[in-house]
Chains A and B, each alone.
Chain A
Amino acid sequence: MSTTIDQDQLRQRVTDFLTEHDPSTLSTDEERLEWLRARYDAGLAWVNFPEGRGGLGLPREWHLEVEKAFAAAGAPSNNPRKNGIGLGMAAPTILGFGTPEQLDRFLKPLWVGEEIWCQLFSEPGAGSDLAAAATRAVKDGDEWVINGQKVWTSGAHNADWAILVARTDPDVPKHRGLSYFLCNMRDPGVDVRPLRQITGEAEFNEVFLTDVRIPDAHRLGEVGEGWKVATFTLNNERVAIGGGATPREGGMIGKVAQTWREQPERRTPDLHDRLMRLWVDSEVMRVTGQRLRQKLAAGEPGPEGSAMKLTYARVNQQLSGLDLEIQAEDGLRYGDWTMVRPEKTDMLGRDAGFRYFRAKGNSIEGGTSEILRNVVSERILGLPGEHRVDKDVPFKEIPR
């Protein structure tokens, strides 16, 4: 990646853009969308992306300041919470493996938030073992016909598009018979049904795919290369989940610190000791993420993000549990168990009880903590792989 302009020049571009496109003049949604499109065209959407693709080919780390400057200027938001999967996972994967036509077609509407994405990876029989995905894709002329069932699909009810892993060849071992597709969620064969979860709401869904037709032009990567593309997505996911840029006392620690400051009568030495340990852990996580992003400035995330995601899940779970304890009699109450299908994922939203239950998913979604420890120990530390009985067997012969 060539660094074409320096950080001062980048700041200047942001300032110039804000002068030419004054956010305070926008009133309608359409105007805000136009504004976002202009920001994309100016290369200020994600500055680490290439020129012409919403970026300027600059270090990833520089983007933070750009984002802050736009937020400070009251710029319209592309609703990142609503399109986390699109921005954090689909976009880098499309950039990494897409044809020029696919990049033209998908990146801009994704970034501006016109098209929301979800992730059709997990299945009832393929969770940790994603390579065991059984959803079939059969070639029919210029199209693929998809049949199968996906599960735990977050935000499928809001999504326009999905990244999909499906089996194109059951006669070869499982890792080799997968392909990766961009699936239109508005296709009549896509049936999305809510799955209520521990919090009471249904953030995720079951998705039934019946004779869904996907043009071959919407295949990402080669036929049979789906595992490679999916791994790329997962590495991005783990960085997106665990390595996101948060300010000091951002995220879960901010919530608990607020509780602590507001409720002096509930302080005890035990709670204080745990709070301060977790404050330290959160701050260390912040600088570890910062360093990871500096390391990745020019490259793509590898397995390193897995270590961060491990810490993130543990710290979030401990903090949200601590929050309930500090709140004592209020910690015994819960905001609302009513079943809803939320507009966006918000780990920090609602009350402490919600956060406690939602955080339980942090060590499951995007690869469980056990799987991530396998990834770290095998891919980073070079320890032997797990014993695998199914590795060299044609997929169709694996007992399921």
Chain B
Amino acid sequence: MNQPQSPKQPANLDLLYTELEDDLRSSVSALLADKCDPHRVKALYDGDGALGEELWPALAGELGLAGLLVPEDLGGAGATTREAAVVLEEIGRYTAPVPFLTSAVVATTVLLDEHATEAARALVGELAAGEKTAALLVPFSFGPDTDLARAAVSGGTQVRSVAGALEADVLLVPVAVDGGLEIRAVAASSATVDPVVSLDMSRPLADVTLAEVTGDVVVPAGSGNQAVRRALLTGAALLASEQLGVAQWCLTTTLAYLKERRQFGRVLGGFQALKHRLADMFAAVESAGASARYAAAALAAGEDEEIATRVAASFCSETALDAAEDAIQLHGGIGMTWEHSAHHYLKRAKSSHIALGTPGAHRAALADLVELPAS
């Protein structure tokens, strides 16, 4: 106990799942098990995007997930990041092609900024009702620590590799004004949205060009930077839960395969070299589970958000990627095939490793937060 006490000792947050959260998971999982067939995920890579068009209305409408984070008085479910994280775990487990993270988390967080305008409140109600879908117009690689001057959009410039733009009816566009950024809601129909051949086609990206930026101000100048930063931080915190879902799928699937596949007259999972790799994978996935849960709980409680996010973003990104890479290796040749689903997870893991800030960027921010400067 005679440790030098770091200044910020976090609260003891509940890291388990409540019954309500378990129920939510069951309904999401049931819907995805029914509709998100791996063969249809594969078809996304061959230009057949029908799956996404069916899934999102079902998740947003039938299950009402689009308004999970929206307060009840604005027409939403008034839930917290804890519940949103559970939804994302399932989305990760199925590599479901839905704009939940981009619209129901990131764009919604922008619109729920405390200084957001009346127009924002009206729009967020439409998002919650599943009537519209929105996306924040920044490259998917931008994280909470990206220099936001780079986020400013003006007429004629192209924004590259935007996630959720293809599905969006409304683009939330950061515009440079005197006091920093203001955010405008621009109809996607007035923009040129060019689909991009993406590393991860289960979250297809687009290059977006606006001839001119017209539309209602949803977050006024003076608050725009904060709103964007907050949205990217929330996105990174909750992406960790999606990454957890990816990692869990990789562990479960690899484990099942190695229990069944026989070589040298015995089940491969009996070889100690493989048992030990799976034990390490299990330890990492369990740790990722605690850390993703902690970040979701921290944001819900409004405590320790910055550190919790950086830790989860960095750890879960790497765990998901390691698990996906190991899954390919431990499946042998079949892991390299188009037919097997393992590659869907590697593609999701690698793209989300870069998205919303790389692990290195999160660790660099963390170094400042915990006063361990690089030099």
Residue numbers of A with Cβ under 8 A of B are: 61, 64-65, 71, 247-251, 254, 257-258, 260-261, 264, 267, 269, 272-273, 275-277, 279-281, 283-285, 287-288, 290-292, 294-295, 304, 307-308, 310-311, 370, 372-374, 376-378, 380-387
A288 engages B290 (CB within 8 Å)? yes
Show 21 residue pairs from A and B whose CB-CB distance is below 8 angstroms, ordered by the A residue: A248-B9, A249-B4, A249-B5, A254-B4, A267-B375, A280-B310, A283-B311, A285-B287, A287-B293, A288-B291, A294-B16, A295-B16, A307-B279, A310-B280, A311-B287, A373-B279, A376-B282, A376-B283, A377-B282, A381-B278, A383-B255
B270 engages A384 (CB within 8 Å)? yes
A291 engages B16 (CB within 8 Å)? yes
B255 engages A280 (CB within 8 Å)? no
Size range of the interface on B? Answer: 35 or more
**With A and B bound together, what is the CA distance between A304 and B366 in angstroms?**
29
**With A and B bound together, what is the CA distance between A247 and B10 in angstroms?**
9
The interface residues of chain B lying within 8 Å CB-to-CB of A276 are: 363-364, 366-367, 372
**With A and B bound together, what is the CA distance between A104 and B367 in angstroms?**
51
The interface residues of chain A lying within 8 Å CB-to-CB of B315 are: 280-281, 284
**With A and B bound together, what is the CA distance between A385 and B6 in angstroms?**
44
A275 nearest in chain B by CB position: B372
Measured CB to CB, the closest approach of chain B to A391, in angstroms, equals: 15
Known: A291-B293, A294-B15. 15 other contacts (CB 8 A): A65-B12, A249-B3, A254-B6, A273-B360, A277-B363, A284-B288, A287-B290, A291-B15, A291-B289, A292-B290, A308-B283, A376-B279, A380-B282, A384-B267, A384-B269
**With A and B bound together, what is the CA distance between A267 and B1 in angstroms?**
27
A254 engages B363 (CB within 8 Å)? no
B16 nearest in chain A by CB position: A294
A258 nearest in chain B by CB position: B4
Contact of B374 with A by CB under 8 A? yes
Cross-chain pair count, CB within 8 angstroms? 150
The interface residues of chain A lying within 8 Å CB-to-CB of B278 are: 377, 381, 383
Contact of B39 with A by CB under 8 A? no
The interface residues of chain A lying within 8 Å CB-to-CB of B282 are: 307, 376-377, 380-381
Contact partner of A310 among B10, B266, B279, B291, CB < 8 A?
B279
The interface residues of chain A lying within 8 Å CB-to-CB of B4 are: 249, 254, 257-258
**With A and B bound together, what is the CA distance between A294 and B291 in angstroms?**
14
Residue numbers of B with Cβ under 8 A of A are: 1, 3-6, 8-10, 12, 14-16, 255, 258-259, 266-267, 269-270, 272, 275-276, 278-280, 282-283, 286-291, 293-294, 307, 310-311, 314-315, 360, 363-364, 366-367, 370-375
Main secondary structure on A side of the interface with B? helix
A284 engages B287 (CB within 8 Å)? yes
**With A and B bound together, what is the CA distance between A351 and B259 in angstroms?**
46
Contact partner of A249 among B360, B367, B370, CB < 8 A?
B370
**With A and B bound together, what is the CA distance between A295 and B10 in angstroms?**
19
B10 engages A248 (CB within 8 Å)? yes
The interface residues of chain A lying within 8 Å CB-to-CB of B289 are: 288, 291
**With A and B bound together, what is the CA distance between A162 and B226 in angstroms?**
60
B14 engages A386 (CB within 8 Å)? no
Q: Which of B9, B259, B280 has the most CB of A within 10 A?
A: B280
B15 engages A310 (CB within 8 Å)? no
The interface residues of chain B lying within 8 Å CB-to-CB of A280 are: 310-311, 314-315, 363, 366
A287 engages B275 (CB within 8 Å)? no
B283 nearest in chain A by CB position: A307
The interface residues of chain A lying within 8 Å CB-to-CB of B314 are: 280
**With A and B bound together, what is the CA distance between A294 and B282 in angstroms?**
19
**With A and B bound together, what is the CA distance between A242 and B375 in angstroms?**
32
Report if A383-B259 is in contact (Cβ < 8 Å); known contacts: A275-B372, A280-B314, A291-B16: yes
The interface residues of chain A lying within 8 Å CB-to-CB of B276 are: 370, 373-374, 377
The interface residues of chain B lying within 8 Å CB-to-CB of A376 are: 279, 282-283
Measured CB to CB, the closest approach of chain A to B353, in angstroms, equals: 15
Measured CB to CB, the closest approach of chain A to B12, in angstroms, equals: 7
Report if A288-B363 is in contact (Cβ < 8 Å); known contacts: A295-B16, A378-B275: no
B374 engages A269 (CB within 8 Å)? yes
A279 engages B15 (CB within 8 Å)? no
Contact partner of A261 among B275, B307, B311, B372, CB < 8 A?
B372
**With A and B bound together, what is the CA distance between A381 and B259 in angstroms?**
10
**With A and B bound together, what is the CA distance between A326 and B4 in angstroms?**
18
A380 nearest in chain B by CB position: B282
Measured CB to CB, the closest approach of chain B to A137, in angstroms, equals: 33
Report if A287-B294 is in contact (Cβ < 8 Å); known contacts: A248-B6, A280-B315: yes
**With A and B bound together, what is the CA distance between A372 and B366 in angstroms?**
32
The interface residues of chain A lying within 8 Å CB-to-CB of B367 are: 272, 276
**With A and B bound together, what is the CA distance between A254 and B14 in angstroms?**
24
B294 nearest in chain A by CB position: A287
B281 nearest in chain A by CB position: A381
**With A and B bound together, what is the CA distance between A264 and B372 in angstroms?**
10
The interface residues of chain A lying within 8 Å CB-to-CB of B258 are: 383
The interface residues of chain B lying within 8 Å CB-to-CB of A284 are: 287-288, 290-291, 311, 315
**With A and B bound together, what is the CA distance between A374 and B275 in angstroms?**
7
